[in-house]
A = this chain, B = another copy of it.
């Protein structure tokens, strides 16, 4: 093999992989947007063919030889090429450590368990789901031991979702949240709560769709490359490359804030995805680097900007023009206060900015205990309910609104949750750094987000997956991650809002 040829092959291989993932991603997107209801099995048929082809392509003998050759001459490669080879080889080597039959059995287990979870959630039947969840935890522990025998299994999985993340880091992070946010919430509970009735009323779907377009415009999303559709659960996906990004939302006719913040949240993901440098397209470096950094961007736009006073002051006249009747007798400050109402509740996805991280913390603590053998799956619901009472002060009425609410575990995603809370915390520190050079409040007040987007593009988006998340973050911050910055922000904002 000669170097010139091998470098060309490397690009071709990634271009092929992009095309396959475009095809598969589009099938999933189509399944949740446009496809007729009865076509899941048909899609499953094609997806299984394509994923097998993708597997062969990305782990086949020819690919391994190519990557190993390039790895052996890595000092001759560019920084980007080195990172491509590193990421691709790492994932192949991990795959190789798992016996194929166990891998296939696990994939089958996940298809079944997702189905069973849906039924269990609908019928409030945790015992139905329990044996599947047990097997999932069991398999995740086993696979972690295959791949990284020297690591704690839960560390292995945390690291899978957020490169470099460990339990000890999470422990410090969540201990900070626990010690600062739990008392903050207790104080808030003693106060008269905010009146948020202005957000509820008659907000017709077609008007909300108009509002979505305006929000996307204010955010600076390029509609030639980003589109919006409606789905049951909002999400963001890029197809083929960052040149084609889709966000989705869900309209609730009597609730304007639900879709508004979905659009801003998913819009943040889309800004990150579409912000990759163009020469990263059709390579494994295209798009966001990790769940944590992705959430740092989506929650940055959703909460740090989208729930800030200057942003609401800019958006309010737009709301008035689209919803003149609904906004009668309401002021910008009323909307600002309403979208920041703190209300401990049962469901993570509906939680406010302050309580959100505690929902995540509960999941972290439970996952950790099960993965370390200190809690049985059987006892999960009891422990879940106990922690909701302790941290959030709410009583879980049934498992549907408790331990069965999220889809993550049924899909095998264990170690994924912490990145949600980490992302929120990263975001605050990034905002503070940005404020050193950008007049963020003025940008927001005037609805001109360009300088904000430019900062994010320069420090985060353009790099795609070129740097590991920790390094990317520290480069952007010129400092280490410090969870206190996040809790300081929350305390300051909510002490002001609640006159504490």
Contact = CB atoms under 8 A, between A and B. Distances in A.
B225 A36 contact: yes
Contact of A227 (B34, B225, B239): B34
Contacts of A245: 36
Interface in A266-306: 281-282
A45 to B, nearest CB: 6
A222 B41 CA distance: 16
Contact of A35 (B38, B241, B244): B244
Interface in A1-43: 15-16, 18-20, 22-23, 26-27, 30, 33-39, 41-43
Contacts of A347: none
B224 A42 contact: no
A127 to B, nearest CB: 32
Interface in A45-60: 45-47, 49-50, 53
Contacts of A344: none
A227 B36 contact: yes
Contact of A33 (B34, B222, B226): B34
Contact of A229 (B16, B34, B226, B243): B34
A118 B244 CA distance: 24
A310 interface: no
Nearest to A229: B34
Given A18-B46, A42-B244, 7 more contacts: A15-B45, A33-B34, A34-B34, A34-B227, A36-B225, A42-B281, A53-B53
B239 A42 contact: yes
Contacts of A41: 243
Interface of A: 15-16, 18-20, 22-23, 26-27, 30, 33-39, 41-43, 45-47, 49-50, 53, 222-227, 229, 239-241, 243-246, 281-282
A30 B30 contact: yes
Nearest to A44: B240
A36 B224 contact: yes
B26 A244 contact: no
A46 B16 CA distance: 8
A494 to B, nearest CB: 38
A243 to B, nearest CB: 4
B49 A16 contact: yes
Contacts of A23: 23, 26-27, 46, 50
A245 to B, nearest CB: 8
Contacts of A226: 36
A76 to B, nearest CB: 27
A55 to B, nearest CB: 14
B227 A42 contact: no
Contacts of A26: 23, 26-27, 30
Interface core residue of A38, A53, A239, A244 (most chain B CB under 10 Å)? A244
A243 B35 contact: no
B49 A223 contact: no
Contact of A42 (B46, B50, B243): B243
A35 B35 CA distance: 14
Contact of A19 (B36, B46, B243): B46
A19 B37 contact: no
A19 B241 CA distance: 21
A223 B37 contact: yes
A241 B36 CA distance: 13
25 contacts: A16-B53, A18-B45, A18-B46, A19-B46, A19-B49, A19-B50, A20-B49, A22-B27, A23-B27, A34-B227, A34-B246, A36-B224, A36-B225, A36-B226, A36-B227, A36-B244, A36-B245, A38-B222, A38-B224, A38-B243, A39-B224, A39-B239, A42-B239, A42-B244, A53-B53
Contacts of A22: 27, 42-43, 46
Contacts of A49: 15-16, 18-20
Contacts of A223: 36-37
Contacts of A35: 227, 244
Contacts of A19: 45-47, 49-50
Nearest to A57: B53
